[in-house]
Amino acid sequence: MIERHVGFVAALREAGMPVSLAEGLDAANALMVIDLLDRESLREAYAATLVKRPVHRPGFDVLFDLWFPPVLSSEMSAPEEAEYDPNSSAEQLRRVLQGLLLGDPDSPAFREFVRAVVERFGRVEAGPGRQSWFSYSVLRALSPDTLIARMLNQMLTERGGLPEKMARQQISANIRKFEEAVASDVRRRIAEESGIERIARSALRPPIDRLDFLRVTKAELAQLRREVYPLARRLASRLTIKHKHGHRGRLDFRRTVRASLSTGGVPLTTHLRPKRPHKPELVILCDASDSVSSFSQFTLLLTFALREQFTKVRAFAFVDTVDEITKYFAPGTDVLDAITRMTKEADITRFGRTNYGNVFTRFADRYGDAIGPKTSLLILGDARSNYQPPAVDTLKQLVAKARHAYWLNPEPRPQWDTGDSVATGYGAVIPMYECRNITQLAAFIESTDVGAR
Amino acid sequence: MGWFGAPAEVGERLRGVDYLADEGIVTSVFLAGALEKPLLVEGPAGVGKTQLAKAVAGATGAELVRLQCYEGLDEARALYEWNYKKQLLRIQAEDDAWEDIFSEEFLLERPLLKAIRNDAPTVLLIDEIDKADVEVEGLLLEILSDYQVTIPELGTISAVRKPYVVLTSNATRELSEALKRRCLYLHLGYPTPERERDIVLAQVPGLAGNLAEQLARTVATLRSLELKKSPSIAETIDWGRTLLALGRAELDEDTIGETLGVVLKHHSDQARAVKELGLS
């Protein structure tokens, strides 16, 4: 048990979770007081002592399933007891799956079914004498997504409206659980055959806060969005704290005298008037072209979140020409609507190929007065200008007018200056930061004071 | 002295005070008691974090001492303060009182000190720790790891009886590693529809089972939309109470449309829900 515990902790560390020595000891202590035979309780005990960030939990669960696989009832429930025969046709199995998806996905029958179908469809010959397990072959054989229409018909008397929406929600949640169960069973089988360490390394996606903006899937994008709001809040609250701890103003005579009453007229504590806070102004220029589409979606969300926190934010989007998009992001509007409206209505595209030089020139022409001595300028983009003249001087003038200026680049640093990237050219006139994931964005926010004081 | 005998017992006793716990909650609550470590509960607003601390106090018959955190909270309001007025009066009354104005008599105890010195079982709830400044976390470290408080004039005061400490956070900022390392961690998310149904049934007596079921499913659907503020469990319960007060037996589209304001408090969220759910 000790060996397994140490191995598991090492695997967590290798997957990037910061597990300290003390936390490992806590976990070991926890193992002394819980019932080790209860697998879920063991899982939660490990989670409570080792995983201190929700973003690490999915990775933890994958590793836990590998290191502490469920005990299989070795005599599988006899086929005549089950209502289906695992060797029957795919169509029949689909019908069974349909029934199970309408029920409780945590039931033993559901798990039993997952094991049976992985056994049946998951095996793929991977060369002479070798075999491996794949979840996509299971999902392809059963294609649970195509069952939705049938299930909806079965559940509802008439289609449309709220009931359908709710039924869909329930079904797709169950399908996701089915897919996860299949993936987890496949990993377990691979681990049995070729060792835990090998599969552990390949099975894990990085936790959401270290995920590359340019390589996110759609589902992860939704998750990323939820991470944005706390960041914007943190940025805003950081600024307010700064004001409080900053220079204090003149003596507040009234409050000082009032306070002195409790000490018999001796002014033991003096009260000072708070200094008038400086209202930071923010101008955001963001690349909305396809090459950085997931990044720009994300930055638009950041823009939106900032717009709600600051009073004076002006946002501009560009592809090869630039337009102000502040009005689409008014506080209180729906963010997804705003993005759709912006892509439809805003005048940001001429030929559809990013042209930074043209953008900066036009921006200086049309909106040059947006940038003043109180403004912080934030540019978000990959600095890939399709070999057009970069107009570095125009940018230099813009930067000189602003109080602070920063450029966030979603590309990894080694790729800067390759191909049509002019990262270093721009980087010479404006500080450029690599910003590929939430962690780097948070680090940027912490390290700089965007518009503070 | 242990707080709970076994994880199963935790679930049972929490249910006794109408708190329905899942596997994760039960195990963490049990471990916090068994290992005598503070429990850090993090999650969105209104999923029952504070309620959990109250339920633990209720289930164990312990006294609940609560420290509400806010920006600007300092030692004088969290830990202890000297009673300046009384000290001043004493100095004025007796000339040679300089020595004993820093004694027990002049100490005003604040929640943290109170929890440490209480000799009856105590649950110390440090609520919304993320709202407090970073310096407060430093202040807490001594209490959380050693259950003791150092007052320069008096010396170190150790806990008579270790309190059961629960910290809650809405994750508006990242807590320091040092703090997290000393705590057990529990992330409370939104419950599954089944658990939420049971919670509503436990909190709103008199609500029909099928209505609670519909309620839980509708709220789960609402949470799947991208809203500015997803409905919390507390709001689901309010919704249940509303339906009960209105005497509705069915959660149909009209009823949802009329009472949506109970769960969604932003205009844009309401508009979005109406559009996505096809309400008129």
The reply to whether A342 and A405 lie within a common domain is yes
Q: In A, which residues are within 8 Å of B85 by CB distance?
A: 262-263
**Domain end marker among B164, B187, B210:** B187
pLDDT category, A453, cuts 50, 70, 90?
very low
The CA distance from B134 to A215, in Å, is 34
Q: Do A242 and A100 lie in a common domain?
A: no
Distances (CA, A) of A224 to A216, A230, B61, B239: 9, 11, 42, 30
Minimum distance, in Å, between the CA of residue B196 and any CA atom of chain A: 14
Residue of B nearest to A229 (CA): B172
My answer on whether A288 and A421 are in the same domain is: yes
Residue B186 has pLDDT above 80, yes or no: yes
Choose the closest CB to B221 out of A57, A165, A337.
A165
Count how many domains chain B has.
2
- Which residues have C-beta within 8 Å of that of residue A199, sequence separation ≥ 6? A66, A187, A190, A191
- For residue B208, the SS3 value is coil
**Dihedral sign computed on CA atoms, order B172, B177, B183, B186:** positive
The shortest C-alpha distance from A185 to chain B (Å) reads 22
Window from A3-12, A95-104, A290-299, A364-373 with minimum mean pLDDT: A290-299
Axis-axis angle for helices A90-102, A108-121 (nearest 10): 150
Output A448 or B101, whichever has higher pLDDT: B101
Of B31, B268, B278, the CB nearest to A334: B268
Give the pLDDT of residue A452. Answer: 42
Measure CA of the first residue to CA of the last residue in chain A; give whole Å.
56
B34 and B173, same domain (yes or no): yes
Phi, psi of B122, rounded to the nearest 5 degrees: -130, 140
A194-207 mean pLDDT: 67
Q: What are the chain A neighbours of B218 within 8 Å (beta carbons)?
A: 162, 166
Mutate to test the interface with A, among B82, B185, B250 (most CBs of A within 10 A): B185
Q: Which residue of A has its CA nearest to B217?
A: A166
* Window from A260-264, A328-332, B52-56 with minimum mean pLDDT: A328-332
- Residue B275 sits at the vertex; the CA angle it makes with B272 and B279, to the nearest 5 degrees, is 120
> In terms of domains, do A228 and A360 share one?
yes
**CB–CB of B133 and A241 under 8 A?**
yes
Domain final residue, candidates B149, B172, B187? B187
Asked if residue A381 belongs to a domain, the reply is yes
Cβ within 8 Å, pair B24-A47: yes
Residue B39, classed as helix, strand or coil, is: strand
Q: Which helix (H) or strand (E) holds B55?
A: helix B49-60
> Is residue A74 very low, low, confident or very high in pLDDT (cuts 50, 70, 90)?
very low
Determine the pLDDT at residue A332: 63
Domain of B146, CATH number, reads: 3.40.50.300
Looking at the fold, whether A137 and A60 belong to one and the same domain comes out as no
pLDDT of residue A237: 60
pLDDT number for residue A207: 67
Partners of residue B31 in chain A, C-beta under 8 Å: 30, 33-34, 45, 48-49
**Nearest CA to CA, how far is A234 from chain B (Å)?**
6
**Does residue B1 lie in a domain region?**
no
Is there a single domain that holds both residue A376 and residue A410?
Answer: yes
Work out the minimum CA distance from A167 to partner chain B, whole angstroms: 9
Q: Is B203 a domain residue?
A: yes
- Residues A60 and A166 occupy one common structural domain: no
Of A64-68, A309-313, B12-16, B21-25, the range with the lowest mean pLDDT is: A309-313
Inter-chain residue contact B30 with A34, CB threshold 8 Å: yes
- The pLDDT of residue A27 is 93
Chain A neighbors of B266, CB-CB under 8 A: 332
Do residue B176 and residue B198 come from a single domain? no
Same domain as A159, residue A235: no
Minimal C-alpha gap between B76 and chain A (Å): 14
Q: Which of B202, B163, B148, B147 is nearest to B60 (CA)?
A: B163
Range of the domain at B167: 7-187
Substitution target in B3, B10, B25, B35 with the highest count of A β-carbons within 10 Å is B35
Residue B28 near residue B186, CB atoms below 8 Å: yes
Question: Domain for residue B2, yes or no?
Answer: no
pLDDT digits (tens, 9 = 90+) for A103-152: 777 777 777 888 888 888 877 776 666 667 777 778 877 787 787 887 88
> Do residues B26 and B118 share a domain?
yes
Residue of chain A whose Cα is closest to the Cα of B188: A54
* SS3 annotation, chain A: CHHHHHHHHHHHHHCCCCCCHHHHHHHHHHHHHCCCCCHHHHHHHHHHHHCCCHHHHHHHHHHHHHHCCCCCCCCCCCCCCCCCCCCCCHHHHHHHHHHHHHCCCCCHHHHHHHHHHHHHHCEEECCCCCEEECHHHHHHHHCHHHHHHHHHHHHCCCCCHHHHHHHHHHHHHHHHHHHHHHHHHHHHHHHHHHCHHHHHHHHCCCCHHHCCHHHCCHHHHHHHHHHHHHHHHHHHHHHHHHHHHCCCCCECHHHHHHHHHCCCCCCCCCCECCCCCCCCEEEEEEECCHHHHHHHHHHHHHHHHHHHHCCEEEEEEECCCEEECHHHHCCCCCHHHHHHHHHHHCCCCCCCCCCHHHHHHHHHHHHHHHCCCCEEEEEECCCECCCCCCCHHHHHHHHHHCCEEEEEECCCHHHCCCCCECHHHHHCCCCEEECCCHHHHHHHHHHCCCCCC
User: Do B172 and B261 have their domain in common?
Assistant: no
Given pLDDT bands bounded at 50, 70 and 90, which one contains residue A77? very low
Q: Is B169 in the same domain as B241?
A: no
CA distances from A363 to A74, A160, A189, A327 (A): 70, 47, 58, 17
- Name the DSSP class of B131: G
B280/A contact by beta carbon, under 8 A = no
Tell me, yes or no, if B180 comes closer than 8 A to chain A by beta carbon.
yes
Probe site for chain B from A38, A51, A166 (most B CB atoms < 10 A): A166
* Chain A residues within 8 A of B186 when measuring between CB atoms: 48
The answer to whether the CB atoms of B72 and A244 lie below 8 A apart is: yes
Check whether A75 has a pLDDT greater than 50: no
The encoded tokens of residue A332 equal 């209180």
Tell me the C-alpha distance between A91 and A98, whole Å. Answer: 11
Subunit contact A45:B6, Cβ cutoff 8 A: no
- Which residues of chain B does A38 touch, with a Cβ-Cβ cutoff of 8 Å? 7
> Which residues in chain A touch residue B183, judged by CB atoms under 8 angstroms apart?
52
| Pairing assessment for the beta strands B107-109 and B80-82 based on DSSP bridges | antiparallel
Most A CBs within 10 A among B31, B74, B134, hence the mutation to make, goes to B31
Query: CA of A104 to nearest chain B CA: how many angstroms apart?
Result: 10
* A358 and A412 both lie in a single domain: yes
Task: Answer yes or no: do B142 and B224 share one domain.
Answer: no
**Assigned domain for A212 exists:** no
Higher per-residue confidence, A302 vs A363 = A363
Do A290 and A383 form a contact (C-beta atoms < 8 A)? no
What are the pLDDT digits (tens) for A334-355? 666 777 777 777 777 777 788 8
| A272 and A361 together in one domain | no
Q: In B, which residues are within 8 Å of A333 by CB distance?
A: 268
Whether A93 has a pLDDT exceeding 70, the answer reads yes
Q: Which residues of A touch B172 (CB under 8 A)?
A: 230, 233-234, 237
Instruction: State the pLDDT at residue B124.
Output: 94
* Domain annotation covers residue B165: yes
The C-alpha angle with vertex B170 and arms to B40 and A304, in degrees rounded to 5, equals 150
Dist. CA B144–CA B35, nearest whole Å: 13
Q: Does B5 touch chain A (CB under 8 A)?
A: no
pLDDT tens sequence across A355-389: 888 889 989 888 888 888 878 888 888 888 888 88
* pLDDT score at B200: 92
Chain B residue numbers with beta carbons less than 8 Å from the beta carbon of A34 are 7, 27, 30-31
Give the C-alpha separation, A384 to A180, whole Å. Answer: 38
Q: What is the mean pLDDT of chain A?
A: 78
Same structural domain, B147 and B209: no
| A118-127, A200-209, A353-362, A442-451 — most confident range | A353-362
The answer to whether B146 contacts chain A (CB < 8 Å) is no
DSSP B232-280: PHHHHHHHHHHHHHHT-S---HHHHHHHGGGT--SHHHHHHHHHHHT--
Q: How many domains does chain A have?
A: 4
- The answer on A289 and A416 residing in a single domain is yes
What are the pLDDT digits (tens) for B187-228?
A: 998 998 889 999 999 888 888 888 898 899 889 888 888 787
Q: Is A330:A377 a contact under the CB 8 Å cutoff?
A: no
Q: Which of A49, A224, A263, A334 to mutate to test the interface with B (most CBs of B within 10 A)?
A: A334
Tokens of A1: 């048990």
Say if residue B91 is in the same domain as residue B200. no
B42 touches chain A (CB under 8 A): yes
With CB atoms and an 8 Å threshold, state whether A262 touches B84.
Answer: yes
Q: DSSP letter for B147, please.
A: S
Highest mean pLDDT among A78-92, A147-161, B54-68: B54-68
Among the listed residues B168, B146, B165, B149, the one whose alpha carbon sits nearest the alpha carbon of residue B157:
B149
Q: What per-residue confidence (pLDDT) applies to A66?
A: 85
> Does B207 lie in the same domain as B174?
no
Q: What percent of chain B has pLDDT over 70?
A: 97
pLDDT of A20 over the 50 cut = yes
Q: How much is the average pLDDT of A31-46? A: 88
- Looking at residue A360, its amino acid is F
Chain A residues whose beta carbon lies within 8 Å of the beta carbon of residue B185: 47-49, 51-52
Rounded to a whole number of angstroms, the distance between the first and last alpha carbons of chain B is: 59
Range of weakest confidence among A155-164, A176-185, B130-139: A155-164
Out of B31, B37, B171, whose CB is closest to A45? B31
* Closest-CA residue to B130 (of B230, B236, B49, B65): B49
pLDDT of residue B98: 65
Q: Which residue has the higher pLDDT, A45 or A247?
A: A45
- For A225, nearest residue in chain B (alpha carbons): B226
- Same domain? For B62 and B116 the reply is yes
Q: Establish, for the pair of chains A and B, how many residue pairs have beta carbons separated by less than 8 Å.
A: 118
B79 or A100, higher pLDDT: B79
- CB-CB contact of A50 with A23 (8 Å): yes
Name the B residues in 187-216 with CB < 8 Å from any A CB. 187, 189, 193
- The type of residue at A433 is Y
B40 in reach of chain A (CB within 8 A): yes
The answer to whether residues A267 and A283 belong to one domain is: no
CATH number at residue A418: 3.40.50.410
Interface contact A48-B272, CB threshold 8 A: no
Residues 6+ apart with CB under 8 A from B139: B75, B78, B79
Show the tokens assigned to B119. Answer: 């000799």
Number of CB atoms found within 10 A of residue A264's CB = 12
Of A41, A49, A54, the CB nearest to B7: A41
Contacts of B113 (CB under 8 A, 6+ apart): B79, B80, B107, B149, B157
> To the nearest whole number, what is the mean pLDDT of chain B?
87
Supply the pLDDT for residue A435: 83
pLDDT digits (tens, 9 = 90+) for A80-90: 445 566 667 77
Q: Are B233 and B49 in contact (CB under 8 A)?
A: no
- pLDDT at residue A335, as a whole number: 66
- Min Cα distance B85 → chain A (Å) is 6
Structural domain boundaries enclosing A264: 252-276
In a domain, B84, yes or no: yes
- Contact status of B186 with chain A (Cβ, < 8 Å): yes
Give the span between the Cα atoms of A39 and A43, in whole angstroms.
6
Instruction: Tell me, yes or no, whether B175 and B38 share the same domain.
Output: yes
DSSP letters, B90-116, are HHHH-TT-TGGGSSGGGEEE-HHHHHH
**A63 or A452, greater pLDDT:** A63
Residue B46, pLDDT > 60, answer yes
Cβ neighbours of A234 in B, within 8 Å: 172-174
> In terms of domains, do B197 and B183 share one?
no
Which residues, at least 6 apart from A246, have a Cβ–Cβ distance to it below 8 Å? A275, A453
